[in-house]
Amino acid sequence: MINLDEYTHKYWGILSHHAYRLTGSILDAEDITQETMLRVVEMGPALENIEDHHEWLHIAATEAAMGMMCKPIEADAFELPDLVQTTGAGADADSRPVGGGDGWPGATLDFLFPLQYMTPEQRALVVLRDGFEDGDRVAAAALHVTIQEVFDIAREAESVRAAARKRWGSTVPFVPLAADKKTERVFDRFIEVFRMKDAVLLQQIIWKNAEMVLETERTSGQDFVAKELSSLSKGMGSRLKFDSVWLNGCRGVLISDRRGRNPEWTRMALALVLCNEREVRALKWYLDAHILRKIRVDESASE
């Protein structure tokens, strides 16, 4: 008899990470994982007849995700997935979400970004191909299609990826990032200037075609992004703390505020900062979102 508590503990984190890769949404990933585990309960004693539980669960989670995946966004639209905390830069195949235990490798931005331009079928195929040595067969089972249809979907997915790279490759990294000193200096300078609340100084470090998503609002262009950031920083107050974190293999910052009667730091915002060795190219900001609660920092090293 399978112990459901142990079974859930073993697979919950793995399925959550898989569902996140499929959808780019933390909330949707949680719903998909719950739905998959409900299916496990409904299986009852028949669960013991499954030969490969790892594969079966990923197929079940993919089937559950198909109804939750959003339609692909347009080629000229700019968006970034929900942020998850990673341990460092790049697309290391052993990357794990911080605190997540065993996870699904490759929740990095260079992998996830093109997926949002794909149909659910294309997205599922790319994720399953990346996660299984025999990914075509697993994808065929999850999508209920033939192997030939899998090949057709794969060609379409690669075409979409190439188009996304051509359109956004100068804004978002399509190759693994490294923790190099030049990019680190740009990131540190950005945080320094943000704290100064000066739009002119911000303009000097932001690329002319920069993109920024503030919750659901998109801002484009060097001047507009700088003004938006300046206004944002002025509204945050003066007693701020900045903790550098890695988000989807890219540099990010958690911003906190010490409030008058509250002895604890209150989290205010989280930002993914995409920069190269010269300037900041794109950002995504969250204010008071559910995502803030999932980011961990070393409090012993805080100010």
Residue 254 is assigned to a structural domain of this protein = yes
Place of tokens 């089937």: 63
Tell me: do 271 and 161 sit in the same domain: no
What's the chain's average pLDDT?
A: 87
Q: Which one of 122, 156, 175 terminates a domain? A: 175
Tell me: do 18 and 58 sit in the same domain: yes
Q: Could you write out the DSSP letters of every residue in 33-64?
A: HHHHHHHHHHHGGGGGG-S-HHHHHHHHHHHH
Tell me: do 162 and 195 sit in the same domain: no
- Residues making up the chain, counted from first to last: 303
Residue 102 is assigned to a structural domain of this protein = no
Please say if the pLDDT value at position 91 is more than 80. no
Q: Which one of 119, 140, 175 terminates a domain? A: 175
Residue 84 is assigned to a structural domain of this protein = no
* Domain range for 195: 181-301
Q: What is d(CA 112, CA 96) in angstroms, rounded to the nearest whole number?
A: 15
Residues 204-225 have a mean pLDDT of: 94
Tell me: do 65 and 140 sit in the same domain: no
The predicted pLDDT at position 126 comes to: 96
Q: Provide the pLDDT confidence category of residue 168 given band limits of 50, 70 and 90.
A: very high
Q: Picking from 29-38, 95-104, 120-129, which range would have the lowest pLDDT averaged per residue?
A: 95-104
Residues 256-269 have a mean pLDDT of: 70
Tell me: do 156 and 188 sit in the same domain: no
The predicted pLDDT at position 266 comes to: 82
Residue 271 is assigned to a structural domain of this protein = yes
Tell me: do 224 and 275 sit in the same domain: yes
CATH of the domain at 234: 3.10.450.50
Residue 206 is assigned to a structural domain of this protein = yes
Residue from 178, 8, 4, 161 nearest 90 by CA: 178
Please say if the pLDDT value at position 138 is more than 50. yes
Each residue's pLDDT tens digit, 52-64? 999 999 999 999 9
Please say if the pLDDT value at position 73 is more than 60. yes
Residues 122-149 have a mean pLDDT of: 95
Residue from 84, 68, 162 nearest 124 by CA: 68
Q: Provide the pLDDT confidence category of residue 90 given band limits of 50, 70 and 90.
A: low
Q: What is d(CA 62, CA 208) in angstroms, rounded to the nearest whole number?
A: 40
Residue 130 is assigned to a structural domain of this protein = yes
Tell me: do 211 and 282 sit in the same domain: yes
End-to-end CA distance of the chain: 51
Tell me: do 28 and 131 sit in the same domain: no
Please say if the pLDDT value at position 261 is more than 50. yes
Residues 112-120 have a mean pLDDT of: 96
Q: Which one of 46, 69, 92 terminates a domain? A: 69
Residue 34 is assigned to a structural domain of this protein = yes
Please say if the pLDDT value at position 160 is more than 70. yes
Other Cβ atoms closer than 10 A to 160: 20
| Number of domains into which the chain is organized | 3
Residue 89 is assigned to a structural domain of this protein = no
The predicted pLDDT at position 259 comes to: 64
